[in-house]
Structure 1
Amino acid sequence: MIESLLVANRGEIARRIIRTAKRLGIRAIAVYSEADADLPFVAEADEAVLIGPPAPAQSYRNTEAILAAATSTGAQAIHPGYGFLSENAEFARTVEARGLIWVGPGADAITAMGDKINARNLMAAAGVPVAPGTTDPAADLDAAVTAAAEIGYPVMVKAAAGGGGMGMGVAVDEAALRTEYDKVRAFAERMFGDGSVLIERFFPRVRHVEVQILGLADGRVVALGERECSVQRRNQKLVEESPSPAVSPELRSRLLAAAVRAGEAVGYRNAGTVECLLDPATGEFFFLEMNTRLQVEHPVTEYVYGIDLVEEQLRVASGLAPTFDPDALTSRGHAIEMRVNAEDPKRFLPGPGVIRTWVEPTGDGVRVDSGYTEGNTVTPFYDSLLAKLIITGATRAEVLERAKVAVAAFQIAGPKNNLPFFTELLDNEEFRSGAYDTAIVSRMR
């Protein structure tokens, strides 16, 4: 097993990784920016290194500062968490070139899945269903218009190098396409340094379902069930649950088999997620993208399968077998995760500030993975995620009732937060029925 681990991230996920590392007797090393000096993850690490000013480019995306911290502390491995450098293939290569262990998939797999068009083509070749769309970037507006006419409106205009719900727009006709194409291309060039654009069929009533995969040290790829991720704002997730209330045993079998094929197609190792769009009316599903990292919503899978995914990541990176029997996977119960963000609960606009009150809920089936506590300052430099409220139980009905109690008991004062939204959602009949789709939040507003 790895003996010392540098966590190249911050907040909730850094704290989460550190917790597992320390349980396993691994020396946990944190890196932090000047803005995060007082956050819990810094204090909870065995060692912490200041790597720069608040701006991510000067700290959490500063590869040389992170590698220098690894060298100075004698770190044996680097875990990137999610976001920042987690899907940066060049960073993964550099980590390994420096003689360190990268806790994640190989750089080639990250590269293969990092471009949405290349990923779509690879998946189609592997027999994984893909939505109608372009097999090459739409080189200019005329090419986009031609492609959209062939695919049929409405279409989704996507940054090929994008991720996390960023760099996307919907066009219902050619006039809208002309606007969205220029907008997405400019955003992609600014954010990702790559203006390539993909045109794909847009499904107005669809569910977002993903499969957790784990590429084992012996080369096998296993699927650890699915997660429902259809409660979204601006194409970004707010609530996830496992298992999906929309997935039958027969559909689950097809979904998981396709996800395993997707991982095998790129020789996948470590944790990853195959995201799909599901038409609940027909049971058809289409590959959306593969996230080559640990997902924010991994705790719901941990409960349903009774494992610690961070521990499994560390075991794979160490060349060890998993803690579970890959040939006898079993699941249990139900889990829902709610992303508690520092944002207005109506318009979902960021609302940073000093946390004056922070009281986490407790009780049966309640888990809170938080990045902050009372007295901390939520700054505008990073993602608005404050904590993840994970509720578990034997059935979905039991989980929904526990969730209502837990949300009511979670007290946060200071920055804006979206707990009132979850109160509304948990009383929403469409959500409670399980028969919801990706437009549920817009219908609530």
Structure 2
Amino acid sequence: MGCGTSKILPEPPKDVHLDLVKKVEPYTGCKNDIYKHFIKDGGDAIKSGFPSPPRQTNPCSTARMEQPEPRKNRVAKYRAKFDPRVTAKYDIKALIGRGSFSRVVRVEHKATKQPYAIKMIETKYREGREVCESELCVLRRVRHTNIIQLIEVFETQERVYMVMELATGGELFDRIIAKGSFTERDATRVLQMVLDGVKYLHTLGITHRDLKPENLLYYHPGMDSKIMITDFGLASARKKGDDCLMKTTCGTPEYIAPEILVRKPYTNSVDMWALGVISYILLSGTMPFEDDNRTRLYRQILKGKYSYSGEPWPSVSNLAKDFIDRLLTVDPSDRMTALQALKHPWVVSMAASSSMKNLHRSISQNLLKRASSRCQSTKSAQSTRSSRSTKSNKSRRVRERELRELNLRYQQQYNG
């Protein structure tokens, strides 16, 4: 089927493996029951294999604190929920994440002692099944060193268990903050790995649709660890003969491409826009587009309005800025593809001309400042939520009307 004026994505090369993972002992009375993307817990992204840090509590906030449930009891509680086929093969070690429809636990293969993560999904919920179905459709087809790997799947009448690689090295920016130095050469090494994974996905007709730093994990804590792309809950997989254009409005606001905001059919170039945002943050610790007001944020994105002011931009090479500019291009037809990005002089040269400039101090300060600001905003929002409840419906209608008007205005400009 044709795609209008946009290009048809290439068919997978002959050496690409498809349908690598099969269902293991499926429950005969339950078909296509499957799950949601990597887990959110209280607003914090928790990836399989990366335990969340201990929560800090204020001893003055309450006279008596409830004692946490002993770890052994928690593990036993979740172990009891697992199908005997799973526990016969894996030892359940610890709960490391939770979501509305799912739990993620760290496990160990009994025979090999290899650690894995198992995502247990409650399939009785329609929302969980739909997103899970999308993710499994993607993960069954992929095998790449920079993409989280699905190992096997168990199904029962009410639950699905996804056995996955365990990424223990933490999120990309946590590692940058912890390091003593970070140069453009370090940035290009990271981006090469991510671009390799994205190029592979696009070759298969898969668009991630939610690329962001939280979904880029280090495989292990070592200095030589690879980066892995995770969280395929919003991914779209094109099958042979499908129209290559997508229409669903989805993603994380700061990373959404302009063509999604104006509700135009779009292609996998939306992933390249997100990589432009990631590259900008990677070199500065700041966001190219950021505003607490969603309408103003979208206006910035639709205009492609960002700047290279403030630290450490004076120390960043023009070649790096050119790389970002070629990704943060409002017209998707002018945006670099993953293959073109891999061949960009800044990536090919590994930023040799500026590799000695240490950007770490400015980047880490900006990242920590932003994290602190967002934490304060969250606390403020929680403290005023009850007082705003009576006004919420009215303000939501106002925001929706503003966004519709904004979309209409920019869609008219976009279409010339």
More strand by share: 1
Which fold has the larger relative contact order, with Cα–Cα distance below 8 Å and residues 6 or more apart in sequence? 2
- What TM-score results when the alignment is normalised by the length of structure 2? 0.32
